[in-house]
Structure 1
Amino acid sequence: MNDEFYYRGLEKAKQKDYAGAIEEFNRALQLTPYFAEAYLQRGLAYYDSGVIHQAVSDYTQALNFYPDSVEANYCRGLARVALKNLPGALEDVDRAIRLNPHHAAAYNLRGIVRRKQGYIQDAIANFKKAAELYLAQQDKENCRLCLAKIKQLQPPEKQIVSPQNSQITPIISTNEYFKQLLEKAEKGDTRSAIADLDWVLQADPQDAQAYCCRGVVRCKMGNYQGAIADFNQALQLNFHDAVVYRNRGKARSLLGDNQGAIADFNQALQIKPQDALIYVARGNVYRAIGNYLDAIQDYTQALQINSDDAQAYYNRGIAYTFLEEMQHAVADYQRAASIYCEQENWENYHQVLNSLKKIQQSSPESKQQKYNLLRQRLLRLVGGYWEIAQKLIEQQQNYHPGMSQEWYLQKVIDDLERDRGR
């Protein structure tokens, strides 16, 4: 009777009715508690339905009864990878290969584990062995996938290392590999970088760092919604790195979600409070919503961390121009231009010079200077929010129509200073 339940479970699993399959296997095991194959198949059903911990428990139970089961060792290794238990996964896959040296999928899985551990050369050797076995089995599709993994892992200047010469010491770490892909994207080859990252994620859909890296590249391509989806996936896989929040914040700001962007930058700063890039990014959002004083504070904080940050000087200069503090703006523009010149970053150098030229060519007439000074005083009184100042000016225009702009500015200033007891 237990065989009947077991075979019904296999049929339901084949139809992807995993809950029904688990129920049938439960019945089989109630009749025969030592039925190793039923534990294995129930573990597969649990794995396919996403209940990974329970799958590992069933594979372990199967191995207690049948420790030389190649499939149970391989399946537990696969599940342990999903649980990020890489040492345990490596033990299982090593045992599966010892029991069956021609198990192509086991070599492929060991390649994935070694790549995640940062041992790229050893990963390549395992993918190569898997490709050879798949080819011998006339499984051309899996062979092609293994060769593609080798290609995207292999540094351009290196040749593929044969298994006989494979060493445990890695050629490059996983972080260095992703850094190479980001450098490729920075040089404009974003399509190739995306293709490489797609291969990584096809090989291991649980690679949170790859999602983060692909999100950064998608941002460079202007695909901000796709980038946010990748950053969300990285966070769901518990990759709570400051770079994820910082870059998701940038993408959200570019889509117009300024408050969401600020929330992301705040989260990033809790993780990495000495990252100047985060302060500059948050300062840009503050500036975009008209909060110039907080923007200046963030740019200043970034410069305390990195005094040679040309972008922080330039952006702070822009914020100062909105507050009509032209002397400070000119000083920041000049400092930014000097740094860009030293870096031979000519595109940004000329952009700063153009901004500096516009300030220097502004009208020196006393009337304009007076208006600018009044506007600057009023902005300070309302915390840098010109929208508030504009509403106060409009109220005075309604009460006292026909007066000059300078008169309205002075009237609002006088009223605010009187109310504050100045």
Structure 2
Amino acid sequence: MLLQNWVRNVGLSLGFANSSERAKLYCESGIEHYEQKQYQEAINDFTQAIACQIKFGEAYGNRARAYFKLKRHGQAWQDCDRAIELNPKDAMAYTTRAGVKFQLRNYRQAIEDCDRAIELNPRLTKAYYYRGLALCQLKQYPAAVPNFSKVIQANPYLSQAYYNRGVAKFYSGDIQGAIEDYNNNLALDSSYANAYYNRGLAHAKLGNKRQAFFDWRHAADLFLRKGEMPLYNKAVKLMASSPLAKQEFHEEMGHMIQRGRENLDNSPMLSKVVR
């Protein structure tokens, strides 16, 4: 890799390559920077590649991905449009644009781009993921479930996919299926407070009051450690609504409620608002 970098850099600096070759060298450099999460450096390289070859669709698509990582959504969208104009079969450009549209809350348009990306490349996992997220935002939960299943089939270790499918199953009425997905999510990431919180809701829905209570308590502990006090207080409120709060944990509940008040009163966010 070091020798390859040296050869490429010498070629660029001394002008050994023609414009087409220089564009490819800059694009390769941009991809390496992108993979190292050096997104601005990647953008600079892709811009150089485009300067060398104005109709270099791959460079536009790659630069769009780097812009997206930096949340520069307008520029990412423009580059996706240009990449698709130059290569209408660029499935990744459609997927990146779907991600941009999702972030901008254009959910129906995001789904349309995902549909096109999947039509071009049925193995493009990220397109299924964005489509599932967009369908959830439109409350089309049953339709979202198989999209997350596709993601899990391709990558069974992606904890967030289990969580999102759990949400979709819960609102589709498959409560036990939601619990199983939250279980898988927590097996992969035991610090994910939202999964405990939502699993508690699912257990409560099935009448499993004890399991629900302990899930909310675990969620509250994690929210407190992260300083997420509004979510902490929501979890404590759910605990307080449980019969177990009075029967077995009355004293503990009093301490938890007081702790929430103290931390909320002392939070920087609240102090900033008061000023």
Cα distance in 2 for residues equivalent to 1:333 and 1:180:
38
SS in 2 for 1:118: helix
Matches within 5 A, 1:52-71: none
How has the CA–CA distance of structure 1 residues 178 and 311 changed in structure 2, closer, same or farther, with 3 Å as cutoff? farther
From 217, 226, 236, the equivalent of 1:356 is 236
Cα distance in 1 for residues equivalent to 2:200 and 2:68:
30
| 1:127 corresponds to | 50
Correspondence 1:315 to 2:210: no
TM-score (structure 2 length as normaliser): 0.64
Matches within 5 A, 1:223-262: 223-238=106-121, 240-262=123-145
SS in 2 for 1:328: helix
Q: Which runs of 4+ in 1 moved over 6 A?
A: none
How has the CA–CA distance of structure 1 residues 314 and 240 changed in structure 2, closer, same or farther, with 3 Å as cutoff? same
Matches within 5 A, 1:203-222: 203-222=86-105
Cα distance in 2 for residues equivalent to 1:330 and 1:362:
7
Cα distance in 2 for residues equivalent to 1:282 and 1:275:
11
Cα distance in 2 for residues equivalent to 1:180 and 1:339:
32
**CA shift for structure 1 position 233:** 2.0
Cα distance in 1 for residues equivalent to 2:196 and 2:128:
23
Give the AA of the match of 1:271: A
> Could you give the per-residue CA deviations for residues 86-132 of structure 1, whole angstroms, max 9, x where no partner exists?
xxxxxxxxxxxx9xx7xxxxx4797379638937676544432456x
Cα distance in 1 for residues equivalent to 2:217 and 2:26:
50
Contact 2:223 2:231 in 1 (8 A): no
How has the CA–CA distance of structure 1 residues 178 and 318 changed in structure 2, closer, same or farther, with 3 Å as cutoff? farther
> Could you give the per-residue CA deviations for residues 31-50 of structure 1, whole angstroms, max 9, x where no partner exists?
xxxxxxxxxxxxxxxxxxxx
Cα distance in 2 for residues equivalent to 1:207 and 1:110:
22
> Higher helix fraction: Structure 1 or Structure 2?
2
Cα distance in 2 for residues equivalent to 1:311 and 1:228:
26
| 2:213 corresponds to | 330
| 1:31 corresponds to | none
| 2:264 corresponds to | none
How has the CA–CA distance of structure 1 residues 111 and 328 changed in structure 2, closer, same or farther, with 3 Å as cutoff? same
Greater RCO structure (CA 8 Å; 6+ sep): 2
From 23, 30, 53, the equivalent of 1:111 is 23
Contact 1:280 1:299 in 2 (8 A): yes
Give the AA of the match of 2:81: D
> Could you give the per-residue CA deviations for residues 331-380 of structure 1, whole angstroms, max 9, x where no partner exists?
22232233334444x3xx4134224214404678x9xxxxxxxxxxxxxx
| 2:172 corresponds to | 289
Give the AA of the match of 1:350: P
Cα distance in 1 for residues equivalent to 2:141 and 2:175:
14
SS in 1 for 2:105: coil
How has the CA–CA distance of structure 1 residues 318 and 178 changed in structure 2, closer, same or farther, with 3 Å as cutoff? farther
Matches within 5 A, 1:174-185: 174=62, 180-185=66-71
RMSD value over aligned CA atoms?
A: 3.7
TM-score (structure 1 length as normaliser): 0.44
Cα distance in 2 for residues equivalent to 1:255 and 1:289:
13
How has the CA–CA distance of structure 1 residues 359 and 298 changed in structure 2, closer, same or farther, with 3 Å as cutoff? same
From 163, 167, 181, the equivalent of 1:280 is 163
Contact 2:117 2:124 in 1 (8 A): no
The answer for unaligned runs of 5 or more in structure 2 is 1-15, 33-41, 247-275
Cα distance in 1 for residues equivalent to 2:20 and 2:103:
32
**CA shift for structure 1 position 228:** 1.0
**CA shift for structure 1 position 226:** 0.8
Cα distance in 2 for residues equivalent to 1:206 and 1:341:
48
**CA shift for structure 1 position 216:** 1.7
Cα distance in 2 for residues equivalent to 1:247 and 1:319:
24
Give the AA of the match of 2:27: R
> Could you give the per-residue CA deviations for residues 40-99 of structure 1, whole angstroms, max 9, x where no partner exists?
xxxxxxxxxxxxxxxxxxxxxxxxxxxxxxxxxxxxxxxxxxxxxxxxxxxxxxxxxx9x
Cα distance in 2 for residues equivalent to 1:314 and 1:178:
36
> Could you give the per-residue CA deviations for residues 110-155 of structure 1, whole angstroms, max 9, x where no partner exists?
7379638937676544432456xxxxxxxxxxxxx89xx99x79xx
